[in-house]
Amino acid sequence: MSRPLLPLLTAALLGGPALAQTVPTQPAPVQPAPAQAAPAPALSAEQAAAQARTLAEEARRSYPPGSASIDQVLWKRAAAAAEEAARLAPTNAGALRLRAQIYTEVGFWRQAELAWNAYFQVAPAQPGSAEARQAAAAQYNLGYAAYTRNQPGEAARLFAACLELDAGNVDCATWAARTALEAGNYPQAQTLYARALALRPGDRTLGYFQTLAQKAGRYGPAATRAFSRAYAELDAGRKAQALAGFQEAARAAPNFAEAWREAGRLALDLGNAPAARAAYQGAAALPGATASDRYNLALAQEGEQYGLKAVQTFRSAYARYTAGDRAGAEAGFLDATRLNPDYAKAWAWLGRVRYEAKNFAGAAEAYGRAVQLDPADKSSAYFLRLAAQGK
């Protein structure tokens, strides 16, 4: 009797899920859009200047002393903040000075020059003041850069501007004198060298160039300029270029003794015996030739034959011999024979120091080599016989 209930119960169970699917779902809540950040408030000129000072102090602490550069992040940010301060307060002397000081400290010389000019429009320059000296440093560095780019007129202008700002700047006086000398303005060069020497008494290089300025009229602008440029190359360590410059000066003015001598000294230093011989021949041919000129000419000539290193070693050994250092002399003469086994004079002197030390076997060996190389050397032949006999 209970069986008819089963289909009804089954239908109820099967219909349950279908009815459940008809229940409507609630929509997902909509998230509100994030609020836009408020723009940063604009800085005032005072705030921008304070930021520039803070960044500059941080840069000084962060980077090695003396390495300040506009390419360093903190210095770049400090300069940008100082620029903003100057933009916001274009007539504020403090902001303009801060910008100029930052560019000066990082060595951004063109920007430093422009910044100091803007500052001096508001606060006129007081020659010799701290600000004027810093501005003068920018003029000096721009002037030296112009000099190295072979722009003598621009260099002279910048060095003169430097001296107007800082009359005690010896570097500007020195290079103003150099540019005047190269331009053929010898009286001005002499005046400027005297000024530089008053600021740096006893400086040998300044004294040297002051004397050159006094004589320069004998040589002419082309030779004087070549000589001055060669000296600058030498100061920069570019010896080959310096030698070429001294040679050019000597060719332009064959009576230029110092050009010949500088070329000769540098050629010897570079181990260039032919160039040294040509230079000292030029110097030795002049009326004022010295014993040193003739000595160095002989050294260069002998160096062409046996090699400069061997000859210089021999002469150093001879100096030891005359000073009484016989052991040092023997070692030096032996080194000279090793540098050039065909150097007869070195063998002869090696024989001599050994003979005097009663090292007859060693003396006979050395004298024998000397006679073999130079059969006309009668002195070596004589002592060879004595050494062979142990006398």
Residue 234 lies in a domain: no
Are 318 and 373 contained in the same domain? yes
For range 73-81, the mean pLDDT? 97
Q: Say what percent of the chain tops pLDDT 70.
A: 90
Are 278 and 330 contained in the same domain? no
Domains in the chain: how many in total? 2
Are 324 and 343 contained in the same domain? yes
| Residue of 381, 382, 323, 321 lying closest to 357 (CA atoms) | 321
Residue 379 lies in a domain: yes
Contacts of 113 (CB under 8 A, 6+ apart): 135, 138, 139, 142
Residue 198 lies in a domain: no
Residue 84 lies in a domain: no
Are 319 and 384 contained in the same domain? yes
Are 330 and 274 contained in the same domain? no
CATH code of the domain covering residue 364 = 1.25.40.10
- As a whole number of angstroms, the distance between CA 201 and CA 383 comes to 57
User: Given this model, what pLDDT does residue 41 score?
Assistant: 62
Are 254 and 278 contained in the same domain? yes
From 280, 306, 332, the end of a domain falls on 306
pLDDT band at 12 (very low <50, low <70, confident <90, very high): very low
User: Is pLDDT above 50 for 17?
Assistant: no
Contacts of 59 (CB under 8 A, 6+ apart): 68, 72, 74, 75, 78
pLDDT band at 2 (very low <50, low <70, confident <90, very high): very low
User: Is pLDDT above 50 for 364?
Assistant: yes
User: Given this model, what pLDDT does residue 49 score?
Assistant: 97
User: Given this model, what pLDDT does residue 4 score?
Assistant: 39
For range 203-214, the mean pLDDT? 94
User: Is pLDDT above 60 for 14?
Assistant: no
Are 276 and 315 contained in the same domain? no
User: Is pLDDT above 50 for 1?
Assistant: no
User: Is pLDDT above 80 for 58?
Assistant: yes
pLDDT band at 40 (very low <50, low <70, confident <90, very high): low
| Residue of 107, 98, 97 lying closest to 52 (CA atoms) | 98
From 253, 288, 306, the end of a domain falls on 306
For range 318-333, the mean pLDDT? 96
Are 249 and 319 contained in the same domain? no
pLDDT band at 42 (very low <50, low <70, confident <90, very high): confident
Other Cβ atoms closer than 10 A to 28: 6
**Could you tell me the residue range of the domain that residue 371 belongs to?**
309-388
Pick 2 or 228 by higher pLDDT: 228
Q: Please tell me the pTM assigned to this model.
A: 0.71
| Residue of 359, 369, 390 lying closest to 381 (CA atoms) | 369
User: Is pLDDT above 50 for 29?
Assistant: no
- The amino acid that residue 276 corresponds to is A
Instruction: Please write the tens of the pLDDT for every residue from 157-206.
Output: 999 999 999 999 999 999 999 999 999 999 999 999 999 999 999 999 99
What are the b/e assignments for 175-210, b being 16+ CB within 10 Å?
bbbbbbbbbebbebbbbbbebbbebeeebeebeebb
How far is C-alpha 302 from the chain's CA centre? 35
Residue 248 lies in a domain: yes
Are 279 and 335 contained in the same domain? no
User: Is pLDDT above 70 for 24?
Assistant: no
What sign has the CA pseudo-torsion 256, 257, 258, 259? positive
- As a whole number of angstroms, the distance between CA 260 and CA 209 comes to 16
Residue 47 lies in a domain: no
Q: What is the mean pLDDT of the chain?
A: 90
Residue 266 lies in a domain: yes
Instruction: Please write the tens of the pLDDT for every residue from 275-311.
Output: 999 999 999 999 999 999 999 999 999 999 999 999 9
User: Given this model, what pLDDT does residue 229 score?
Assistant: 94
Contacts of 58 (CB under 8 A, 6+ apart): 74
Are 329 and 295 contained in the same domain? no
For range 338-367, the mean pLDDT? 96
Are 281 and 337 contained in the same domain? no
Residue 91 lies in a domain: no
From 306, 326, 342, the end of a domain falls on 306
Are 377 and 318 contained in the same domain? yes
